[in-house]
C-alpha cells in the first residue's frame, strides 16, 4: 500500500519554495558574469548581489555591509567562533557557549582548544534554557566571545538571547547567536536580540541548500575562515553563489510575509498534535519550554519505546521525522541536548522530534498520532488506554 508521504522534519531541512526554484533558474540564464568582473556582465551580477544583501539586511535590521554570505549555517557558525576567537586572541583565550549548542558551534569551539583556547559550557535548566546566573559566572576577564543559540534545534526552546546580550555587553564580550532555526520562522532583529554576530541558513526557510549568511556587527573583529580574493570584503572569499543568494533572499522575504499566518497554522497543528498525543499516549512527555518555544519543533519522549524503532516504523509508513539533529543521526549517540536537560540516557534514546511545516495539515498530524499510538501499543500495550 502506498501512503501519502508526510514530511515532519522541517527542522532538519525544508522543501525549496517553487517560486524560489523558478527565480534561481532565471538567475542562471540572466546573470552570467562574475560579480567581481569589471565588465557589464559582472556589474549586473554585482548589482543583483548587493540588492539581495540589502533585502536580507533590511529583514534582519542590520546594515548591508554587516552581512557576509557563506555556504550555509555550519560555515557561518565556524566562521563566527573561529574568526572572533583568532581575531581577539591577544585580548584573551576564553569562550563561553551553552551546553545545548548545535554541533557546528561545539565542534568549532573544541577545535580551538588545540590552538590554546579554553571553553566553558553553561548549563541549561530542564526546559533547555540557559541558566542566566551561570552564564554571568562563566564570564572572566579572559572571555572574548559568548555563543548562545536563538532557537534550540532539538527541543525548540527559545533562549533568552537579549538578556544574555545585555550581560555580555556589560562585560564587553561580543555575543554570537546561532539563529539557524529561527530566521524565517519568527521575527529576528539583530538589535532587538543585542547580538554582535548571528548565523542563518537558507535551507531552513524554503531557500536553496548550500547558502547561508553571517551577520557581523560593524567594528566586531572577525578573521576569515576561508582565505582568497576580495569577495565579501575579503572576509569570505570565493566567487559568490549569486543564484543561491538571490534564492535565499526571496525565500526569506516570502517567509517573513507569511510569518503571522504560518505561525498561527503551526500553533494550531502543534496544539492538536499535543492534545491527541496526551489522549492516545498519556505517558508521552513533551520536552522543552512550556511557553517560550518554536511552534514548529515538538520533542516527544515515549518512555520505553526506542526512538530508532519509532522512526523506522514511521518511515515505512511514509512519514519522515527525526530523533534530533539530522547532522548526528546515524551516530547513535544519545543527544547531548536532552542529556543536558536532565533526561536519562534511556529517556533520551526514546525521544523523537516532530517538526511540521508549511505544507502539513491537521490530517497529517492525525495520521502520525495514529501511527505513533500503534507503535507504542506494539511495544508496551499496558500503558495505552483503549480508544
Partner 1 sequence: MGIYLDHAATTPVLPEAAQMLAEASLRGFGNPSSIHIRGQMAREAMDEARQVTAKALGCLADEIVFTSGGTEANSLALIGACLARQDSGRHLVISAVEHESVRNTAHFLETLGFRVTEIPVDPAGLVDPGDIARALTPETILISVMTVNNIIGTVQPVTEISELARKRKILFHTDAVQAFPNMLVEPGSLGVDLLSLSSHKFRGPKGMGVLYVRKGTPLVPLVRGGHQENGLRAGTENLPGIMALALAIKRSRENLEKAETELRRLRNLLAEDILANLDHVKLNGHSERAAPHIAHFSVDFTDGESLVRNMDHEGVIVSAGSACSSEEGKTSHVLEAIGQSGPLARGTVRFSLSRETTEQEVRDASAVFRNVVVRLRSASAAGRFA
Window 100-159: residues binding partner 1 (CB under 8 A): 102-108, 110-111, 115
Instruction: For residue 22, give the nearest of 230, 172, 243, 237 by alpha carbon.
Output: 243
Half-sphere exposure of 236 (CA within 13 A, CB side): 24
- Which residue, 202 or 301, has its beta carbon nearer to partner 1? 202
**311 membership: H or E segment, kind and range:** helix 307-316
CA gyration radius, the chain: 21
CB of 140 to partner 1, least distance (A): 25
**Considering only CA atoms, which of 248, 194, 237 is closest in space to residue 79?**
237
Sheet holding 298-301, edge to edge: 285-287, 298-301, 351-354
| Whether the Cβ atoms of residue 142 and residue 133 lie closer than 8 Å to each other | no
Among 165, 174, 184, 244, indicate the residue that binds partner 1 (CB under 8 A).
244
Name the minimum Å distance from CB 325 to partner 1.
8
Enumerate the active-site residues: 327
- Asked if 13 touches partner 1 (CB under 8 A), the answer is yes
Site residues (CB under 8 A) for partner 1, limited to 189-228: 201, 203, 208-211, 224-228
> Residue 167 has which C-alpha cell?
550581560
Check binding of 358 to partner 1 (CB under 8 A). Answer: no
Contact track, partner 1, 318-357, x by CB under 8 A: xxxxxx--xxxxxx--------------------------
Pairing of strands 143-147, 197-201: unpaired
Give the shortest CB-170-to-partner 1 separation in angstroms.
30
Interaction residues for partner 1, span 32-61 (CB under 8 A): 32-34, 36-42
Among 67-75, 130-138, 168-176, 279-287, which window interacts with partner 1 (CB under 8 A)? Answer: 67-75
Output DSSP code: residue 172.
Answer: T
Of the candidates 182, 181, 184, 136, the residue with the CA atom closest to the CA atom of residue 163: 136
Single residue of 3, 126, 142, 239 touching partner 1 by CB under 8 A:
239
Find the shortest distance in angstroms from Cβ 160 to partner 1.
24
Amino acid at each position: 500500500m502506498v501512503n501519502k508521504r508526510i514530511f515532519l522534519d522541517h527542522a532538519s531541512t525544508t522543501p525549496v519554495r517553487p517560486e524560489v526554484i523558478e527565480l534561481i533558474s532565471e538567475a542562471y540564464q540572466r546573470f552570467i558574469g562574475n560579480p567581481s568582473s569589471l565588465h557589464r556582465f559582472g556589474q549586473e551580477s554585482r548589482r543583483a548581489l548587493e540588492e539581495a544583501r540589502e533585502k536580507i539586511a533590511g529583514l534582519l535590521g542590520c546594515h548591508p555591509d554587516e552581512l557576509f554570505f557563506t555556504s550555509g549555517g555550519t560555515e557561518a557558525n565556524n566562521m563566527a567562533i573561529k574568526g572572533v576567537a583568532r581575531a581577539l586572541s591577544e585580548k584573551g583565550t576564553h569562550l563561553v557557549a551553552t551546553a545545548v549548542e548545535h554541533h557546528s558551534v561545539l565542534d568549532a569551539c573544541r577545535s580551538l582548544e588545540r590552538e590554546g583556547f579554553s571553553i566553558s559550557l553553561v548549563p541549561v535548566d530542564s526546559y533547555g534554557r540557559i541558566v542566566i546566573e551561570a552564564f554571568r559566572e562563566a564570564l572572566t576577564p579572559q572571555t572574548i566571545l559568548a555563543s548562545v543559540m536563538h532557537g534550540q534545534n532539538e527541543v525548540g526552546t527559545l533562549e533568552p538571547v537579549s538578556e544574555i546580550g545585555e550581560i555580555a555587553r556589560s562585560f564587553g564580550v561580543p555575543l554570537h547567536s546561532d539563529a539557524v532555526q529561527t530566521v524565517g520562522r519568527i521575527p529576528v532583529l539583530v538589535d532587538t536580540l543585542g547580538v554582535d554576530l548571528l548565523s542563518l541558513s537558507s535551507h531552513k526557510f524554503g531557500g536553496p541548500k548550500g547558502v547561508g549568511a553571517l551577520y557581523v556587527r560593524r567594528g566586531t573583529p572577525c578573521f576569515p575562515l576561508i582565505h582568497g580574493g576580495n569577495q565579501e570584503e575579503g572576509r569570505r572569499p570565493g566567487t559568490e553563489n549569486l543564484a543561491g543568494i538571490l534564492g535565499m533572499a526571496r525565500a526569506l522575504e516570502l517567509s517573513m510575509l507569511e510569518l503571522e499566518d504560518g505561525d498561527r497554522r503551526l500553533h494550531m497543528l502543534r496544539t492538536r498534535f499535543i492534545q491527541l498525543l496526551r489522549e492516545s499516549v498519556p505517558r508521552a512527555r513533551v520536552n522543552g519550554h512550556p511557553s517560550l518555544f518554536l511552534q514548529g519543533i515538538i520533542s516527544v519522549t515515549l518512555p520505553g519505546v526506542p526512538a530508532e524503532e519509532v522512526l523506522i516504523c514511521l518511515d515505512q509508513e511514509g512519514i519522515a521525522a527525526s530523533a534530533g539533529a539530522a547532522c548526528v543521526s546515524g551516530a547513535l549517540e544519545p543527544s547531548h541536548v536532552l542529556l543536558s536537560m536532565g533526561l536519562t540516557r534511556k529517556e533520551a534514546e526514546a525521544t523523537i522530534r516532530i517538526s511540521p511545516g508549511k505544507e502539513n495539515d491537521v490530517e497529517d498530524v492525525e495520521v502520525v498520532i495514529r501511527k505513533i499510538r500503534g507503535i507504542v501499543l506494539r511495544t508496551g500495550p499496558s500503558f495505552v488506554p483503549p480508544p
